Amino acid sequence: MEKIVNGKKITSAVVLIDKEGSILGCHGFGKPKDSGYDFPKGCVEEGESDAYAAARELMEEADIYLYDPHTHGKGYNKIHELIDCGVHPHNKEKDIHIFLFKVNGFPNLTELKCTSYFEVNGKKYPEIDGYEVITKENRNKFNKVLQNKFDIIDSFNK
The pLDDT, as a whole number, for residue 76 is 79
The pLDDT, as a whole number, for residue 56 is 95
Task: Provide CATH code, domain 4-156.
Answer: 3.90.79.10
Q: Which residues of the chain have pLDDT under 50?
A: none
Mean pLDDT for the chain overall: 92
State the Cα–Cα distance between residues 118 and 40, nearest whole angstrom.
Answer: 15
* Cβ–Cβ < 8 Å for 14, 40: yes
The pLDDT, as a whole number, for residue 70 is 76
